[in-house]
Structure 1
């Protein structure tokens, strides 16, 4: 895949929903943002990191703030230009490509839109190979690469920069400036080169989104066997199926957190989520957990759904998929395993147990 043209947008965004693990923002918003950018600027070039000199500076990009606020206040070309100028001024040289930090349906689109607005290619890789809630939860950080400098650009052109500090402190500082920026901002972090990306990034991410999205488009509604092409494309499996019996959620730091209860033929299953789905269990037994992906598919339409959009009485399939192997190292699990999110359980890999029947 050498370009993201208009014909590929639906597949790219649909596949990114898989990597959102129940979060990642409204895919319709991602589709609209990306379609508008491609119609203005043409197909967006995708490049591999090793096509550049190893010391070429790249521009990591992620959309900060709450997805609901982004619906009302999309990022502008001026924000992209301001972000680029601030990063280049600090580094003393020009950026040669845009780097997606994560693979949620909104953030894949935002990175590609920024590339289009700036006239730059987009790297076909990312720093998470999934969606995670914090800018320090990356494979780059896992390898010891510092998170700062962080540059935050609001819609009015306001720029906040953080050059040092512990990851937790930096995260708190970024969250603290968000209300003054209208709860939406473009963010760049890490001083990263193409060589760093080639060594430490998750390669082929956007192309993988397109392949998974194309397979999802062929899913036959209501039949688990119809997911074979999707499961083959993502390397995942069906864990269980059930009916949404209860949803309990609250909001903290602008993000939804809660529990979904599913009535299945084998008893009640439970999905714990903090924006992304983090743990699926049944009758007290953990079936799968973060860092692996846990997706929910509507049984009637076959489409993957955001956890916050579920309704009581809705029939869903629970599907798990693998992530980058580095997340399953001791350091990776310490950073993004269940205990990193406050759950006192051991991580369970998506393929460590046989599939648990259907309804």
Structure 2
């Protein structure tokens, strides 16, 4: 790639950003390191319009790194509840505590130290450094991969190491000498709003004169999709138990796995296991549970079909009392806890 092509790519993107990019996002005013970091974590696999209200509530609750580090994980998960991919919140919390312990309560302005923090990879570190400090680092999120694949005509699933390595090289070659914060935002905006996955606006594209995919009629096929396979299905019995006061029995999820450390309804793989759990923890008749409509939920690697059963006016056995992983919660108290989105929806209906 010639130096003229490199310069044209970044110059055209910056020109497009000046007239068509997003300039009023809450984390842009100001572009403080903590706010940039939080936005980058929230934006992973999540659209901007979804993130904005969560970002604003989160910053109001935890305005800086020390405040986030001092919060309990339950409080952090409660603010994150509904945004999904909860490992992001757990990593964010853990990273904030490391920043307080090792970096004076601030994010470090050092690539290697950033990447060493939980939840921060190469692209996220580059996004933080370029946007918060204007340092010359590239990014390679899904939007950037799509633009590079089409512009350069790169075949192969971008998740393959060889393809990703090629894209990193190109991303670094395209970096401008100045305006790194704007250029980083321009790349993300361009892929999200113009060079979209479906129905890209090629006739409005400032890169169309040099786009290989457009020239060769390969826009729809690039970037190459990940080799697919059917998602497996899993069944779960969900126990919705209410006591005489109308409180709901919640169980904390394990610290690893799906919905880790969130509060949820007790769950079992089948009725035999569910019946055993019920009899060990509650007084009542398992067979009198009211079957509620199936609750489907799709994760990235499997489909979960939840079958809720509901009991009312139950009493708990002694094993439930004074247990950090089981608690009766008033419906009003559900708002203060981190709950999986489908479970919160079930309880609020």
Return the TM-score normalized by structure 2. Answer: 0.28
